[in-house]
Amino acid sequence: MRTRHLATADREAAVALWHAAQLTRPWNDPTDDFHRAIAGATSTVLGRFDDERMVATVMIGHDGHRGWVYYLAVDPTARGCGVGTQMMSDAEAWLRDQGVAKLNLMVRHSNSRTRGFYERLGYEDGT
């Protein structure tokens, strides 16, 4: 598997994965989010591929001091194999390369599975 920066041509596959992972909400247009992220100087979307098939994504951005992670999605058929952990590692590396000192996550309180994933990676709930 390999990870790379996504481009406009990857939009449909990324958005489809976000829908499959149930990350989208009616009040947020994921297509607009994708385009903003890949067009921005302080943001990107990474994708992980098994051959040509996209199996994971992560959107990353920062304000120069704090980094943010969005749309960390793993194809349901690829879960449990360390793909999500690798995507977080890739996101953290990208932020370090940008000189970002902190990483904040926003996870819905009701999303216990995702909260557990981040806790296993060493992240703490700051509320």
Per-residue pLDDT of the chain (127 residues; tens, 9 = 90+): 899 999 999 999 999 999 998 888 889 899 999 999 999 999 999 999 999 999 999 999 999 999 999 999 999 888 888 999 999 999 999 999 999 999 988 787 888 888 889 999 998 887 6
Give all domains of the chain, ordered by start, each with its CATH number: 2-120 (3.40.630.30)
- Helix axes of 30-39 and 11-20: crossing angle, nearest 10 degrees: 130
User: Structure pTM?
Assistant: 0.92
CA distances to 46, 54, 60, 63, 118 from 1, in Å: 13, 10, 20, 30, 22
